[in-house]
Amino acid sequence: MDVIDDLEAEQDALAVVLDGLSAEDWRRPSAAAGWSVADVVLHLAQTEEAVASGGVDWRRFGDTVDDGMNGMVGNDPAAPEQIYVRWQAARRASVATLRAADPSRPLPWVTNALKPRTLATTRLAEHWAHALDITEALGLDYPDTARLRHVAWLGHSTLPYAWRLAGLTPVPVNCVLTAPDGSRWEFGDAGAESMISGAAGEFCRVGAQRLAPEKSGLATAGPHGDQALRLLRTYAVT
């Protein structure tokens, strides 16, 4: 599964949703606190533009990533139709940049530089999570797909970051997940003492902070499984 191809496919899926929205839908609240549907798409446009331009200059707008992103959206008002056109152009430029980049050379991003394929994975994860913010708020269907394998990989691979963010020492965690098609995805060392298991979609939603761990139906085992699930995240903070 090529992650840049899958990023483009995830963006295409979101475009189908956006194409079907009414003018009123664009102004409705999304599931992202404080943001309308238009605000969510503006945020995606801004961050896709940043992929092509060399990073996100969020510190001009706030002391934390969340505050900075909120400030960027609030300081860049536009009509929904303009936002949609802007996002379409930005996402194409982002994908083109990622395809043309040297795979071994990290690109500037939010808190640190990321190699192109890892950056593509974070962009896929963000588009998927914000698509949920839009579709769940509007009562629309947005089924899980095999593209979530990238999001699940991101969640597992960033567990050491999550441990350190909490001031803790990282420990091995094995994740055994059921894919949307019923197949098995496994990340980590099968011999690890601690484990998270269950539906991949729920694992990804917990990592995106769209679902509380205790409501996910995910199972944990070992001395650190429960803590790993509570720390799981698929995005950077500072």
The rounded Cα 30 to chain-centroid distance in angstroms is 16
Long-range contacts of 81-84 (CB under 8 A, 24+ apart): 83/26, 83/38, 83/41, 83/42, 83/45, 84/18, 84/41
Task: Indicate whether 126 belongs to any domain.
Answer: yes
Cα separation, 107 vs 163, in Å, equals 24
The rounded Cα 185 to chain-centroid distance in angstroms is 19
Identify which has the larger pLDDT, 197 or 58.
197
Nearest to 236 by CA among 210, 197, 201, 208: 208
Residue 210 is predicted with a pLDDT of 96
Neighbours of 183 (CB within 10 A): 11
Task: Indicate whether 143 belongs to any domain.
Answer: no
Query: Mean pLDDT for the chain?
Result: 93
Whether 117 and 160 share a structural domain = no
Task: Indicate whether 44 belongs to any domain.
Answer: yes
pLDDT digits (tens, 9 = 90+) for 107-148: 988 778 899 999 999 999 999 999 999 999 999 999 999 999
Whether 51 and 81 share a structural domain = yes
Cα separation, 31 vs 104, in Å, equals 36
Task: Indicate whether 82 belongs to any domain.
Answer: yes
pLDDT digits (tens, 9 = 90+) for 93-118: 999 999 999 999 999 887 788 999 99
> Residue 66: pLDDT band by 50, 70, 90 thresholds?
confident
> What is the number of structural domains in the chain?
2
The rounded Cα 107 to chain-centroid distance in angstroms is 18
Whether 100 and 203 share a structural domain = no
Q: Which two tokens stand for residue 133?
A: 């913010």
The rounded Cα 46 to chain-centroid distance in angstroms is 15
Answer yes or no: is pLDDT of 156 > 60: yes
Answer yes or no: is pLDDT of 6 > 60: yes
Whether 94 and 172 share a structural domain = no
What ranges in 35-112 are assigned the alpha helix state H? 37-53, 65-74, 80-100
Task: Indicate whether 236 belongs to any domain.
Answer: no
| Residue 156 φ then ψ, to 5° | -70, -45
